[in-house]
Amino acid sequence: MGIGALDSAIFADMFGTAAMREAFGDDAFLARCVEVEAALARAQGKLGIIPAEAAAAITHIASSLAAGREALDLARLKNETETVGYPILPLVRQLAEFASAAGRYLHWGATTQDIMDTAAVLQIRAGLALIEEDLTATRSHLAALARKYRDTPMAGRTHLQHALPVTFGYKAAVWLYALDRHADRLRELRPRVLLAQFGGAAGTLASLGNGEEALKTRAELARELGLGDPAITWHVVRDGIAETVQVLALLTGSLGKIAYDVMLMSATEFGEAAEPFVQGRGSSSTMPQKRNPISCELILAAAKMLRQQAGLVLDAVVTDFERATGPWHVEWVALPEAFGYAAGALHQARFMLGGLIVDAGRMAKNLAMTHGLIVAEAVMMGLAPHTGRNEAHDLVYDACRAAIETDRPLLDVLMETPAVAAPLGAEKLRALTDPTNYLGAAPAMVDRLLAGR
């Protein structure tokens, strides 16, 4: 039974996904460790460091484990790991028993962190592929919303107050703009993060000889695994792992912003958007009328929890000398959880944005609720060439106060203000107080963002 939400029999698929659990679960971690040990043996067999037949035997054992023909004794592995403090020595012992005489060549010149770090990199590679798949779909949903609602006016809000008109397509495009950059970040970090780790006891590969000869094993190991070959051992510089989690935290932060907006827009008083309707989803145990924004709430929670993991891996960057005495361990917790929460947030966002219900009529109603006050700036800018900006501001400010106090449309008050009505005229004032005429470059910016999609 899991102790956390990501492993919970009840909450696991609300906060995470089955695919990401598969990529970062215990079985996947051990499988990746075995994969690294087998790749190391093949690399060294090719280079003549260990016998080729030993490398073949070790690879055969790894294949048998992967196919389920052989199985690790997990209870023994657990007990021995608790004694040793790390799982690799217990794992190598079992692998060596399976491999018989070839087992003596397992883990040749390697250290525990080499295997665990490279296994973690393989997990990161699999996790990034899953993240990218859901991110691509989520971006596609946002692009569709931006295109469909390019010209749908609604109230733009600052400090939760009506500010100026925008379009819902513009709002969706702003959300998309952030996710586009996160997609770029995911691509850009791969060469820095997807690197083999192999340095031996202190990172110098001394057990394999001197100079370039010792480095051939790492290069061949990287080739076997489809990873990059670093110029130098990176086991005590953890910026690559930290960067990965920071990018995930940034991504879920942006998803949290989207969720926050949608959650507010779905409030009864706004009623401008709603999560997809599913029978019973978001129901209250006591209030039959409720339809709570469940996906938004889960995304927001994930963003907050992942932010904590981002801080945790930054602690792991501060390591001592040539082997950290503790900071490394926090990655064992932070890295899988970061990918788990990021996957969960993206899964919820993909669902929510893929079926988002948009009420353009309610947007129009809300836009009109202040009877033209939302475009007071338009009137001021239209009047400014006649009076100067400062005087125009004061005249329109006074008209706004009067409109609010008497609960009348701004246009009516302006028509009764000679200093405004005389230079502008009725037709111009009607145009200036129509919010749909004051959308600025919002539609054009949507077009620019969507160009080429």
Report the pLDDT value the prediction gives residue 304, as an integer from 0 to 100.
95
| 371 in Cβ contact with 399 (< 8 Å) | no
Neighbours of 378 (CB within 10 A): 21
Domain with residue 307: its CATH number is 1.20.200.10
pTM of the model: 0.92
Residue span of the structural domain in which 428 resides: 365-450
Tokens of 238: 């953890």
Residue 80 domain-assigned (yes or no):
yes
| 238 in Cβ contact with 335 (< 8 Å) | no
Residue 147 domain-assigned (yes or no):
yes
Say how far apart CA 393 and CA 371 lie, in whole Å.
18
Q: What amino acid positions are annotated as catalytic residues?
A: 284, 323
Residue 200 domain-assigned (yes or no):
no
Domain with residue 421: its CATH number is 1.10.40.30
pLDDT digits (tens, 9 = 90+) for 146-162: 999 999 999 999 999 99
Could you tell me if 148 and 251 lie in one domain? yes
Could you tell me if 29 and 145 lie in one domain? no
DSSP string for residues in 43-55: HHHHTTSS-HHHH
Q: Which of 364, 388, 406 represents a domain boundary (last residue)?
A: 364
- In the chain, the number of structural domains is 3
Domain with residue 54: its CATH number is 1.10.275.10
Residue 398 domain-assigned (yes or no):
yes
Give, in order, the Cα–Cα distances in Å from 94 to each of 30, 71, 169, 438: 12, 10, 58, 72
pLDDT lower than 50: segments of the chain: 284-285, 288
Could you tell me if 41 and 126 lie in one domain? no
Report the pLDDT value the prediction gives residue 126, as an integer from 0 to 100.
98
Could you tell me if 15 and 100 lie in one domain? yes
pLDDT digits (tens, 9 = 90+) for 249-287: 999 999 999 999 999 999 999 999 999 877 665 554 455
| 33 in Cβ contact with 23 (< 8 Å) | no
Could you tell me if 226 and 240 lie in one domain? no
Report the pLDDT value the prediction gives residue 11, as an integer from 0 to 100.
85
Tokens of 399: 């008209």
Provide the terminal-to-terminal Cα distance of the chain, rounded to the nearest Å.
45
Report the pLDDT value the prediction gives residue 280, as an integer from 0 to 100.
60
Please report, as a single letter, which amino acid is at residue 52: A
